[in-house]
Amino acid sequence: MNISLEKKRALVGGSSGGIGKAIAQQLAESGASVTLMSHSEEKLKKIVAELPTNETQKHGYLVVDFSDFHGYRETIFKFFESNSIDILVNNTQGPDAGSSLEKQTPDYQEAFNLLFKTVVYTTELALKHMKENKWGRIINVASVSVKEPLSYLALSNTIRAAVVTWAKTLATDVGPFNITANSILTGYFDTERIAQLNSKKAEQLGISEDEVLADMESKVPVKRIGDPKEYGYLVAFLASDNAAYITGTQIPIDGGLLKSL
């Protein structure tokens, strides 16, 4: 099966590292023109320069701060005044870790702005062209925690679940326009985010980070954590015409970690 995204334009959030970077790289390898988004201009410039390019591709980047919704809204609105996209990958950094007893109402509001409002607002702007063109792909980077909540990620559990149910509703509304909307439930991947969470957990438990990682890997049926490249392969497929009949889904990519159906 050949996945070709030639002449398609993609916008990928949180793409200066980890899963977002791997997604951007795979979309570019599949022929799409990719615009990256992150707060680190230095990293974005470097990644854009490394992306594969042919005569139909033109890559770029936007410097954004997802945690500042008002500033983000201004930047992304200006982008869509002169640009349109065919593929939207909604991805941001995760909110701070912590249990439900540690988090207060303002923490949930901040997480809502970060994980939900940015996603909905960006999608609203992207949909205008997608509907006119009768083609579009909306892909949300979510988490396995929406099915099996993790006690130390109360904010992420809560708000990402809202994103997934919103996307399910959206899929019904945009289906007649040949637009699909899917969410990916992310398991354990070799990223900076996992390293940060493991570091905090190791400190709390009084053990080494290697021990935390080993315990994590032991819980995954395939006995390892994922390579971000594997994530990119799934997104490229969902973004292609090969996945035109897949919409409204929540697809786990977790090495079998989830125990629920």
Domain residue ranges of the chain, discontinuous segments joined by +: 9-189+227-253, 191-225
Instruction: Give per-residue pLDDT as tens, 30-75.
Output: 999 999 999 999 999 999 999 999 999 999 999 999 999 999 999 9
Instruction: Give per-residue pLDDT as tens, 235-256.
Output: 999 999 999 999 999 999 999 9
DSSP 175: G
**183 vs 193: CA distance, rounded Å:** 19
| Type of residue numbered 217 | E
pLDDT on residue 200: 83
Mean pLDDT, residues 76-91: 98
What are 34's two structure tokens?
A: 């990719």
Residues near 109 by beta carbon (within 8 Å), at least 6 away in sequence: none
Average pLDDT taken over every residue of the chain: 96
Rg (CA), the chain: 18
| Sheet with 136-143, side-by-side order of all strands | 60-63, 33-38, 9-12, 87-90, 136-143, 179-186, 250-253
The whole-model pTM stands at 0.95
**136 vs 238: CA distance, rounded Å:** 11
- H helical segments located in the chain: 18-29, 41-50, 69-82, 105-112, 118-133, 154-174, 192-205, 209-219, 228-239
| Type of residue numbered 170 | L
pLDDT at 197 > cutoff 90: no
pLDDT at 201 > cutoff 90: no
Name which of 150, 144, 153 is nearest 98 in CA terms.
153
Q: In CATH, what is the architecture of 9-189+227-253? A: 3-Layer(aba) Sandwich (3.40)
pLDDT class of 229 with cuts at 50, 70, 90: very high
pLDDT at 194 > cutoff 90: no
**235 vs 233: CA distance, rounded Å:** 6
pLDDT on residue 22: 97
Phi and psi at residue 70, to the nearest 5°: -65, -45
Pairing label, strands 136-143, 179-186: parallel
CA separation, residue 209 to residues 96, 206, 212 (Å) = 19, 9, 5
